[in-house]
Amino acid sequence: MTLDLCSDTHMHTTYSDGSAPVADMADAAFEKGLTAIAITDHVPLPFDNRYAMKMEQISRYRDDVGQAKNEYSGRMAVKTGLEMEYMPEHRDWMDAILAIGWDLTIASVHNLVKGERPLLVNGNETEFQACLNKNFGRDIKSLCRAYFHTVQEAVETGWFDVVGHLDVLKKYNTKNRFFNETEGWYRELVNDTLNTIHAQGMKLEINMGALAHPIAIPYPSPWIVWSARKKGIPLVMGSDAHHPRAVGQGFDRIQAILAQPPASPPW
Ligand SMILES: [Zn+2]
Ligand SMILES: [Zn+2]
């Protein structure tokens, strides 16, 4: 299964937590030789946060992406996308936004709710620790289970095109500080999630933005990509760029990263 390294399906602009306008991201992608991109800002959320688009900006966002689409027509495909935030508590909210119609939607889980309020699993480390402590009583297995079960639930809705940063909960797991990916319980969670993705016919993102995070291993880890490939799950590349220079980041490294099969295949 070949990877399309000229297509970047995940990036942010100033409409959410990116640092450049839509046009600058599209220009950067074209200059880097990409032939297709999706602009995927964070979907508006029904609670206070520091990163999502505002509801009243949706129409201007779509206009701006539409303008980039026209500008690069015939030279580079530009998709009007959204990075959705799957939260079971807010399905009606999401449903209404999805009904607007999008070229590409990414299903991501950033927050876990198990108590009064949502807490981020992929914010800064203090936020991750707060999520682990307050929502899961420091039980990392419970956090992992809740995370992957929420991803599975998102996939089962059939509402989305691509699963984003599948194992982003490992962001701070350097030197197995919190859990060990080779343990059976974790592999089982991942395997169940991959089976759900395959059954639903969804695509899986290889998110190279992870290389700039503490863990510095793509989301998902290479053994998961190998497993996904074996199951026949289609893969797409995403930079998760928040700045023009990060568009397509790490794409030139993925073949080398995936060159060696995992030492102990999980299948
Ligand atoms: Zn994300
Ligand atoms: Zn993102």
Cβ(178)–Cβ(215) below 8 Å? no
Which residues 6+ apart lie within 8 Å of 129 measured at CB? none
Give distance in angstroms: CA of 108 to centre of ligand 1.
6
Give distance in angstroms: CA of 106 to centre of ligand 2.
9
Instruction: Give the number of whichever ligand sits closest to the CA of residue 85.
Output: 1
Torsion from C-alpha of 56, 57, 63, 65, nearest 10 degrees = -150
- 96/28 Cα distance (integer angstroms): 32
pLDDT digits (tens, 9 = 90+) for 177-217: 999 999 999 999 999 999 999 999 999 999 999 999 999 99
Give distance in angstroms: CA of 196 to centre of ligand 2.
22
Cα–Cα distances (Å) from 88 to 91, 93, 153, 180, 206, in that order, read: 6, 10, 8, 27, 24
Give distance in angstroms: CA of 241 to centre of ligand 2.
7
pLDDT digits (tens, 9 = 90+) for 74-116: 999 999 999 999 999 999 999 999 999 999 999 999 999 877 7
**Domains in the chain: boundaries:** 7-107+157-257
Give distance in angstroms: CA of 49 to centre of ligand 2.
15
Give distance in angstroms: CA of 110 to centre of ligand 1.
6
Percent of the chain with pLDDT over 70: 98
Would you mind telling me the total number of residues written for the chain in this entry?
A: 267
Section 142-147 average pLDDT: 97
- 158/26 Cα distance (integer angstroms): 29
> From 3.40.50.720, 3.30.565.10, 3.20.20.140, 3.40.50.620, which CATH number describes the 7-107+157-257 domain?
3.20.20.140
Give distance in angstroms: CA of 164 to centre of ligand 1.
7
Buried b (16+ CB within 10 A) or exposed e, 137-167: eeeeeebbebbbbbbbbbbebebbbbbbbbb
Q: Enter the tokens of residue 231.
A: 């199951």
Give distance in angstroms: CA of 84 to centre of ligand 2.
9
Give distance in angstroms: CA of 244 to centre of ligand 2.
14
How many CA atoms lie less than 13 Å away from 49 in the CB half-sphere?
Answer: 22
Give distance in angstroms: CA of 67 to centre of ligand 1.
24
Cβ(147)–Cβ(112) below 8 Å? yes
Instruction: Give the number of whichever ligand sits closest to the CA of residue 11.
Output: 2
Give distance in angstroms: CA of 42 to centre of ligand 2.
7
How many CA atoms lie less than 13 Å away from 23 in the CB half-sphere?
Answer: 6
Position 262 confidence tier, pLDDT thresholds 50, 70, 90: confident
0.75 exceeded by pTM:
yes
